[in-house]
């Protein structure tokens, strides 16, 4: 390690970047558990942002990107097809309803 890096760590109080990342991870808000429903809800939120229905969390603006929205909807549709028969009734209904709503919104935005 160079003397500059050592000096910088001493000045900022950072001893080891790996340790600092662990400290940050421990103090950050816990993320929701990852399961099929949260994954589909995440894709749904992305599609809503891409359709211009929700603000982009990075920019705070509503911006449409219809080709990307279509691709996200197609990914959800593929997941519905590939998981058919392996989902419980609630999961199957959830993905069916989300796809229906997103497809209606897409057609309206496409005009």
Instruction: Report the distance separating Cα 105 and Cα 33, nearest Å.
Output: 28
Spell out a b/e string for 47-67, using b for 16 or more CB atoms within 10 Å of the CB, else e: bbbbbbeeeeeeeeeeeeeee
The H or E element containing residue 58 is none
pTM of the shown model: 0.72
Domain positions in the chain are: 1-30, 36-110
pLDDT in tens, 1-52: 555 555 555 554 555 555 555 555 556 778 888 999 999 999 999 999 999 9
Task: Tell me the H-state helices in 13-88.
Answer: 17-27, 36-50, 66-83
Query: Which tokens sit at 102?
Result: 């997103």
- The conformation of residue 86, written as its DSSP 8-state character, comes to S
């Amino acid at each position: 390690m160079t003397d500059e890096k050592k000096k910088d760590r001493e000045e900022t109080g950072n001893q080891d970047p790996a340790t600092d990342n662990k400290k940050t991870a421990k103090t950050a808000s816990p993320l929701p558990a990852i399961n099929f429903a949260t994954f589909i809800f995440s894709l749904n939120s992305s599609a809503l942002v891409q359709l211009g229905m929700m603000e982009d969390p990075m920019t705070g603006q509503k911006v449409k990107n219809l080709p990307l929205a279509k691709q996200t909807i197609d990914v959800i549709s593929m997941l519905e097809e590939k998981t058919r028969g392996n989902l419980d009734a609630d999961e199957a209904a959830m993905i069916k309803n989300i796809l229906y709503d997103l497809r209606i919104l897409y057609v309206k935005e496409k005009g």
